[in-house]
Amino acid sequence: MEINRETLQHKRKLLKLLMAYKEASNRRPIENYKPHPKQEVFHRQASPIRMLAGANRSGKSTAGLAEDVWFATGTHPHQDITVPNKGWICGPDFNNWASSTMIPKWIEMVPKDMIAEKHKNERGIETKWRLKNGSIVEFRSYDQDPSSFESSDIDWVHFDEPPPRPIFEAAYRGLTDRGGKVWFTMTPIAEPWLFRNMWLPGLRPNPLYWSASMTIWDNPYLSRENIARFEEIVSEDYKRARLYGEFLELRGRVFKTFNRTIHLVHGFWPKPGWSVYMGVDPHVYGRKNQAALWMTITPDGDGVFYDEIWEDLTIPDLRDKIITHDYFCPEDQKPGIVDRVIDTSINVREALTHTNFRQIIQQPGVGGHKLIFRNADKKNLLMSGLEYINTLLTPQPDKDGVNRPRLYVDARCTRLIEEFELHGWKNSKDPEVHGVLEKETNTYNDMIAIARYIMNLNPFREFATIDRNNQPFAKPTFGTYTGASAHAA
């Protein structure tokens, strides 16, 4: 049999190249990492604190480990990293999370030719790695004493899964001197403080925080069949977190339909002649900020909360600020106040002079102007008031089949937005009788209370017979304000 020596020689060359490629891949596996689009967005962010909330199997931990390797080796594709540096990879425990999951993944990704030495902890787990460039990477656990995270200067920290607050704060102090960075990769089913303190700030432009989420469907390497199989075994209570990467904290939200993308408008102000309603929830003894809120009704019958006050003020200062807001703005932007409403907590006497606080807030203020309020109608059932607001927030189809809500909020109303996102239900003491969620909490409800009082004034009465199907689809954008809002003043 005649052998084609050229073909054989060619095959040997290909085999040699393949073996060299395999050896290089084993030596530097990080070079084989191909991030999917959502991971790529995360890698391109350079914020000091990044939070990637991901569903199970969305690729969040893999993305976090890629950051760990790039920082430790100084090979980040989108940032200039100084080496040597010192970093921590932190997670729930050593026995399961570290030894069974993260350390094996780290071993898969870290360049083998850069490993200088490894050190085991007292449990025999390789938790400390020194690279040949001098960088040190250490695995830490949430079951360690928070004090063990103190007094260390570090350059970066990766929290894989939500950390307890004392551990985060101790670790973050160690980053301060070196201006270090933090990234979270997690399925958000614990530590709700992260939602309020970091997740929400990171959703809007912020020099410190950046937040994003990934669903299980964002991972292109998972088959739809396997996803469906996983979906079947996840309990209903955890589906939003484990499939969509949403905070479990959101389960108890009163206003689940509120969404910044749908409900926020920017730079909105009512036109002359539009009906305006405002309300106040005063705190007469200085224990909390004073709260005031303005809402208008557009010609199309939509409601827009467009300005607020949320400040530590005396009652006279609150009165003067409201007067300045309503009477000392450009003529073409003076609100056409139809009604004012105030919480009945105003009907108490001042301790020294025994003057009723209602008298104080209705005395002539700046420019001699007076404010007249009616008492909030608290006979209206709380639950029905919240349900009514939820109904207005819920998008309904218009004549073109486009879903749109009937209630909007201007972005300047930051406290009201925060309350829409965080106001929640209390867990019932008797779930078999009352259900799992029984009544609203008494936090994040000051602006919500005013919103209910305003709704009791029936501001939509002029539009009760409007056929919404004949209304054109248009989120309110007209009446851009050029003055100084109460919130900004």
Please report, for the chain, the start and end positions of each structural domain, with discontinuous segments joined by +.
Answer: 25-248, 261-470
Residue 244: pLDDT over 80: yes
Q: In what order do the strands lie in the sheet with 209-214?
A: 115-120, 126-131, 136-141, 86-91, 156-160, 181-186, 49-54, 209-214
Half-sphere exposure at residue 255, Cβ-oriented, CA atoms within 13 angstroms: 27
Do residues 436 and 444 lie in contact, with contact meaning Cβ atoms separated by under 8 Å?
no
Report H helices in 51-192.
60-73, 103-109, 165-175
More confident residue, 463 or 260: 260
pLDDT at residue 283 in the model: 85
Tell how strand 275-281 and strand 290-297 pair up.
antiparallel
The arithmetic mean of pLDDT across residues 80-88, rounded, is 97
Answer CATH for 25-248 from 3.90.25.10, 3.40.50.300, 3.40.50.2300, 3.40.50.150: 3.40.50.300
**pLDDT band with cut points at 50, 70 and 90 for residue 11:** low
The C-alpha angle with vertex 271 and arms to 300 and 274, in degrees rounded to 5, equals: 60
* Confidence band of 458 (pLDDT split at 50, 70, 90): confident
3-state helix/strand/coil string of 282-346? CCCCCCCCEEEEEEEECCCCCEEEEEEEEECCCHHHHHHHHHHHHHCCCHHHCCEEEEEEECHHH
Most confident of 11-15, 56-60, 188-192, 393-397: 56-60
Q: Is 480's pLDDT higher than 50?
A: no
> What pLDDT does 209 receive?
96
Q: Which residue has the tokens 């290089």?
A: 24
* Segment 156-185 mean pLDDT: 94
Find the range with the poorest average confidence among 229-243, 364-378, 401-415: 229-243
- Is 407 in a helix, a strand, or coil? strand
Q: How confident is the model at residue 416 (pLDDT cuts 50, 70, 90)?
A: very high
Record the tokens describing residue 477, joined without a space.
């954008």
- The pLDDT, as a whole number, for residue 430 is 44
User: How large is the average pLDDT for residues 310-339?
Assistant: 89
Asked whether the predicted pLDDT for residue 205 surpasses 80, the reply is yes
d(CA 34, CA 357): 65
Q: Tell me what pLDDT residue 109 has.
A: 95
Write down the pTM of the prediction: 0.58
Q: What is the mean pLDDT of residues 31-44?
A: 95
Between 5-14, 53-62, 187-196, the lowest mean confidence (pLDDT) is in 5-14
Residue-wise pLDDT for 91-131, tens only, equals 999 988 999 999 999 999 999 999 999 999 988 999 999 99
Assess whether pLDDT exceeds 50 at residue 489: no
The fold adopted by the segment(s) 261-470 is Nucleotidyltransferase; domain 5 (3.30.420)
pLDDT(475) > 50: no
Kindly state the helix (H) or strand (E) to which residue 113 belongs, with its residue range.
Answer: none
